[in-house]
Amino acid sequence: MRSSRPRSLRWSVRRLRVFNKGDAITRGVVTAAAAVIIVLAVMIVYELWVNSAGARERFGWGFLLSSAWNPVEGEFGAVPFVYGTVVTSALALFIAVPMGVAAAVFLAELAPPRVSDGLTFLIELLAAVPSVIYGLIGVLVGVPLLREYVHPVLVRTVGWSPFFEGPFLGVSLLAAGIILALMILPFIVSVSRQVLLAVPREQREGALALGATQWETTWRVVVPFAKTGILGSIFLALARALGETMAVAMVVGNQPQVNTSLLAPGYSIAAVIANEFREATTDLHVESLVFLGLVLFALTIVINGIARLLVASTTRASTRAA
């Protein structure tokens, strides 16, 4: 018996069923992709946890509180490396954030379009430069400049400070922080510029219509509107700084010591793992390095979690203000 439904209606129903099947397949694919990411993260934690079992059983929480690092005597502690990682990353942010945000504001709000596009292209190229190249530049150019020109100025101006006292050989926490700042600067500039460009034009036009100057519009309207995205770019840069290996290893000095002075050598977690993992001769040494990897993973998770909470609170505050 022939169906009484019109041909067009039967075709629409058949096509809708196909679309529903396509939606189910798409949903399954993206769910599987998300599950793979979770599984990979769990596997990383599991491998780090299992392969650091000996160090964890021997040192326990004392590993996070000890400054000793003597593979010959079997003494290992994470404090010098956590300290070096945090100090160099914080110094890099201290240098790169003001420069990066200011450059992004210039490119997004003040520079002519041709100039902005050309400089943005160059900045994005800098983001693709391998870290070992930054390390070479630091060794061949940065360290000599710091030793011959910057250090005398620091001694004359802030030499009284405990952060800039003592002898200076060039390789130091300061050199590592500056190199890291150069490496994360393109990320801050590029992402912040895109965020600023995404601010609705009505926001600018409304402020200008009320008599604000271009700078007042940028500083009081555009930047506050985009501050959540700018914070995101900063924490994206921080994530890179925490895990950077080669460039830091080439200029930080690679001495497992806790020094208040930024002119003194230091060490970072990623650098010590890269330098000593192949040369580790005992199981305890290898397990201690893996334990440091677990500490670095946890440190990254905690800092990124704090960043997400900060961005979320900023977003809620902006929503309530609006």
Please write the tens of the pLDDT for every residue from 143-195.
999 989 888 888 888 888 888 888 888 899 999 999 999 999 998 998 888 88
pLDDT higher than 50, residue 126: yes
CB atoms within 10 A of CB 30: 10
Q: What are phi and psi of 75, to 5 degrees?
A: -110, 125
pTM for the predicted model, two decimal places: 0.83
Amino acid symbol at 249 = A
Q: What pLDDT score does 50 carry? A: 92
Q: Contact 217/208 with Cβ under 8 angstroms?
A: yes
Mean pLDDT (whole number) for 228-253? 86
294 — pLDDT class (breaks 50, 70, 90): very high
Give the percent of the chain with pLDDT over 90. 30
Closest CA to 104 of 119, 126, 125: 119
pLDDT tens string 15-29: 555 556 667 777 778
Whole-number Å distance between alpha carbons of 253 and 260: 15
pLDDT tens string 72-101: 888 898 999 999 999 999 999 999 999 999
Q: What pLDDT score does 207 carry? A: 83
Q: Contact 180/241 with Cβ under 8 angstroms?
A: yes
Amino acid symbol at 322 = A
Q: Contact 48/294 with Cβ under 8 angstroms?
A: yes
pLDDT higher than 70, residue 236: yes
Q: What pLDDT score does 7 carry? A: 57
Give the percent of the chain with pLDDT over 70. 89
CB atoms within 10 A of CB 92: 27
Q: Contact 192/206 with Cβ under 8 angstroms?
A: no
For the chain, what are the domain ranges? 7-51, 63-321
Query: Fold for domain 63-321?
Result: MetI-like fold (1.10.3720)
Q: What are phi and psi of 70, to 5 degrees?
A: -135, 90
Tokens of 212: 């604000």
